[in-house]
Structure 1
Amino acid sequence: MATNTKELSVEEKLRALYDLQLIDTRIDEIRNVRGELPLEVEDLEDEVAGLTTRTEKLKQDLDVIEDQIKAKKNAIEDHQTAIKKYQKQQESVRNNREFNSLTKEVEFQELEIQLAEKQIKEMKASMESKKEIIASSKEKLEAKSSHLKHKKSELADIMAETEKEEAFLSEKSAEFEALIEARLLTAYKRIRSSVRNGLAVVSIERGASAGSFFTIPPQTQVEIAGRKKIITDEHSGRILVDSSLAEEEREKMKQLFSQF
């Protein structure tokens, strides 16, 4: 649809507005089918990434602790070697002072061994705790990954069904917007964003405006049917069209939507 260069009549403006409303409502319906799925997928992706990072960090911590335990065990061996050396030296000392000095060295090395053994025990306990956390994290990660895979598949199926139609309708929506003067289009978008169901243009059905169900005075109904000026519902602010025009445009849009 090419952009219209001539000034539209009020009736043409009303038809263009109602067509735009029907197209935008259909786009809303398509997006509602997706619902919160895209956000759910995004949240699950964040959770999976967080659990993966946490598990990897814990594994790295285990590697560090293992290296520390090895270092402590090597230190114990060094202390034991030192003890043997001092004990050997005690066999050839010349006086008590030298003997006592070597005894203190042996005692110091023994204390260092005790401290290292205590630290190894603590580090092993820390490793066991981290292993339990890793196992729990792996279970959560597997569950979340499975759930994410399911949700991604669900979203992909919906997107495959609706993406082409939404792109087509978005293009049509832009074409109809181009027909409508800026002031009127701004009003349409403002009303649409302020009402819960997104209906900015509604028809008169059984003497009341669709969407709000407030009764429209007979004289106003006559003016709306005359299609000579843009009239809004005094209660909801919605733009009003007569039921005949609405039915004609619904049939026209039905043909458009039936392509999908």
Structure 2
Amino acid sequence: MAKKKELTVEERLRALYDLQLIDSRIDEIRNVRGELPLEVRDLEDEVEGLNTRLDKLDSSLESIDNQISDKKNLIEESKALIKKYSEQQKNVRNNREYNSLTKEVEFQELEIQLAEKHIKEFKVQIEQKKEVISETKDKLKERQQHLKHKKNELDAILAETEKEEKALIEKSEDYKENIEERLVKAYTRIRSNVKNGLAVVPIERGASGGSFFTIPPQIQMEIATRKRIITDEHSGRILVDAVLAEEEKEKMEKLFSKL
């Protein structure tokens, strides 16, 4: 394995700031994408949930229809039995047999009344479920349209940025390969500990970029000499002078425009 070229402190600072500019560009692209992937995923889950609910409601309707059919069959069976018992009453030999058949007829009439009551209840349930199904279908349609809109939005952003993001990620890895591992680890650690992901910042108006804490003039002069890597005592960020930062920004802008 080829040994990495020993870089001067200035070369290290430039390489680190270049790496920061590349990673910040990747951050910008991902910020533009924002919460869209999560929104799309949530909408997909919601649509799937509504479809599942509709399937269950349809199954429930089918089950109620089957129960109504069962009750209708029971009514027909009871009517047939009533007819049979009524015919038998004409040929009875004594009161005991007659009374027994009368009770059977009354029982079957009660069965018919109960079945008809259940059918009415089932029909109410059907109307209620149909109402819920209608509302669920309306909501599903609205969510599907919203999902389509968000997907198109995400696809447009991905089409616009995916190629550039991929190229930038490769560049970021290339730059890390040329910087000593110790510095890459420090850079990555600092970057993960700050909200905006800025691990290397220039001096701006006497303070480190994005900070209100001023850097003493003596330290500013030392940073400008580019003889050693200096970090901000408040934020831990690696500091570079404004001139170096501007030079690297111009260089990297040219690189970005080619991607």
TM tier, smaller: over 0.9
Q: Following TM superposition, by how much is the alpha carbon of 1:143 offset from its aligned partner in structure 2, in angstroms? A: 0.3
Residue 104, structure 1, aligned to residue 103, structure 2: yes
Q: Provide closer, same or farther for how the CA distance between residues 80 and 63 of structure 1 changes in structure 2, counting only shifts above 3 A.
A: same
User: What is the identity, as a one-letter code, of the residue corresponding to 1:150?
Assistant: H
The residue correspondences of 1:136-151 to structure 2 (distance < 5 A) are: 136-151=135-150
The residue correspondences of 1:163-242 to structure 2 (distance < 5 A) are: 163-242=162-241
The residue correspondences of 1:19-38 to structure 2 (distance < 5 A) are: 19-38=18-37
SS at match of 1:46: helix
- Equivalent-residue separation in structure 2 for 1:4 and 1:163 (angstroms): 33
SS at match of 1:203: strand
Q: TM-score scaled to structure 1, two decimals?
A: 0.96
SS at match of 2:92: coil
User: What is the identity, as a one-letter code, of the residue corresponding to 2:143?
Assistant: K
User: What is the identity, as a one-letter code, of the residue corresponding to 1:111?
Assistant: L
Poorly superposed stretches of 4+, deviation over 3 Å? none
Runs (5+) with no aligned partner, structure 1: none
User: What is the identity, as a one-letter code, of the residue corresponding to 1:219?
Assistant: Q
Count of residue correspondences: 258
- Equivalent-residue separation in structure 1 for 2:46 and 2:143 (angstroms): 8
Look up the match of 2:11.
12
SS at match of 1:258: helix
Residue 44, structure 1, aligned to residue 31, structure 2: no
- Equivalent-residue separation in structure 1 for 2:141 and 2:55 (angstroms): 14
Q: CA contact under 8 A between 1:232 and 1:239: conserved in structure 2?
A: yes
Per-residue CA deviations over 1:56-110 (Å, capped at 9, x if unaligned) read: 1101111111111011101100000000000000000000000000011111111
Look up the match of 1:123.
122
- Equivalent-residue separation in structure 2 for 1:185 and 1:56 (angstroms): 54
Q: CA contact under 8 A between 1:34 and 1:155: conserved in structure 2?
A: yes
Greater Cα shift, 90-99 or 225-234: 225-234
Q: CA contact under 8 A between 1:4 and 1:179: conserved in structure 2?
A: no
Look up the match of 1:259.
258
- Equivalent-residue separation in structure 2 for 1:178 and 1:72 (angstroms): 78
Runs (5+) with no aligned partner, structure 2: none
Q: TM-score scaled to structure 2, two decimals?
A: 0.97
Look up the match of 2:76.
77
Q: Following TM superposition, by how much is the alpha carbon of 1:225 offset from its aligned partner in structure 2, in angstroms? A: 1.2
Q: Following TM superposition, by how much is the alpha carbon of 1:214 offset from its aligned partner in structure 2, in angstroms? A: 1.7
Q: Following TM superposition, by how much is the alpha carbon of 1:259 offset from its aligned partner in structure 2, in angstroms? A: 1.7
User: What is the identity, as a one-letter code, of the residue corresponding to 2:66?
Assistant: D
- Equivalent-residue separation in structure 1 for 2:145 and 2:137 (angstroms): 12
Q: Following TM superposition, by how much is the alpha carbon of 1:4 offset from its aligned partner in structure 2, in angstroms? A: 6.8
Per-residue CA deviations over 1:127-167 (Å, capped at 9, x if unaligned) read: 11110000000000000000000000011111111010000
